[in-house]
Structure 1
Amino acid sequence: MELTLGTPSLLFPAVSLLLLAYTNRFLALASLIRDLQAQYSTTPRQSLAAQIDNLRRRVRLIQSMQATGVGSLLLCVASMFVLFGGLAEVAGWLFGASLVLMMLSLALSVREIWISVTALNIQLADMESGR
């Protein structure tokens, strides 16, 4: 397969949209953490402590998702730069590494989604026990 400048450039919109989605998730999480902190300081409950622990793990995952997404974009740009310099084989390896980082970022995203579902289940259980 021949790698042209157009091939790595196809990754730009996908990575940009992923990073935007990750940033939105991060901002929503930051708001939720601030709300939970206010609740916990007035009425500490075990369910809030579990939520806070859950949020801490999710923040770390989002940080990793963003880092691998940015790494993917950087390697993609590097592959284009190297390809422009005439080193097609090196560019192919860089582009391949870029795709691997994107897959890792997506896998981390799936893990974060699973953890967020756990958080929702904690919230639902707390609501049910308060009946």
Structure 2
Amino acid sequence: MDITLTTPAIMFPAITLMMLVYTNRFLGLASLIRGLHQRYEADNDPRVREQIDNLNRRVELLRSMQGFSMGALLCFVLCIFALFLGWQIPGKALFTVGLVLLTASLSQSLREIRISCNALKIQLGDMAKK
């Protein structure tokens, strides 16, 4: 199977959109962490500390998600360059690596969403007890 220049190029809008979503998530988490940190310094509540630890795990996942996405984008750019020069085999290899990195980013995103949902369940469970 031969791939053309347009094959990796169709990945650019998807990765750009993913990076935008990841950046928005990061900004939201940063805001939450700042607010919780102020609350922790004022109250010294251990539950707030647990929430901050949870958010720190999510930030780490977001960083790896963004790294995998940027790696995929770089592979797709290099793939286009290789295909432009007529190097089919390196182009296919770069495209494959890009797809693997994109899959890794999406799987990390799934983990981050699961952690987020668990945190919300804990918060709602705490409210239900009251």
- Name the TM-score class by shorter chain: over 0.9
Q: How big is the shift at 1:113?
A: 0.2
The one-letter code sitting in structure 1 at the alignment partner of 2:72 is S
Q: Does 1:95 align with 2:127?
A: no
Q: Quote the residue 2:115 is aligned against.
A: 115
Q: In terms of mean alpha carbon deviation, does 114-123 or 74-83 score higher?
A: 114-123
Question: Relative to structure 1, is the Cα distance of residues 126 and 41 closer, same or farther in structure 2, using a 3 angstrom cutoff?
Answer: farther
5 Å matches for 1:1-131? 1-129=1-129, 131=130
* Superposition deviation, residue 122 in structure 1: 2.4
CA deviation string 1:70-125 (max 9, x = no partner): 00000000000011111011100000100000000000000000011121122223
Length-normalised TM-score, structure 2: 0.96
TM-score where L is the length of structure 1: 0.95
Does the 8 Å contact 1:47/1:122 carry over to 2?
no
Cα shift at 1:67: 0.3
Q: Are the structure 2 counterparts of residues 45 and 126 from structure 1 closer, same or farther at C-alpha, using a change threshold of 3 Å?
A: farther
Distance apart, 1:46 and its partner CA: 2.2
> Where in structure 1 do 4 or more consecutive aligned residues deviate above 4 Å?
none
Count the aligned residue pairs.
130
Encode CA deviations 1:6-36: one digit per residue, 9 max, x unaligned.
0000000000000000000000000000110
Unaligned runs of 5+ in 1: none
Stretches of structure 2 lacking an aligned partner (at least 5 in a row): none
* Aligned-pair CA distance for 1:47: 1.5
Distance (whole Å) between structure 2 residues aligned to residue 127 and residue 41 of structure 1: 22
Question: By how many angstroms is 1:127 displaced?
Answer: 2.5
Percent identity, please.
49
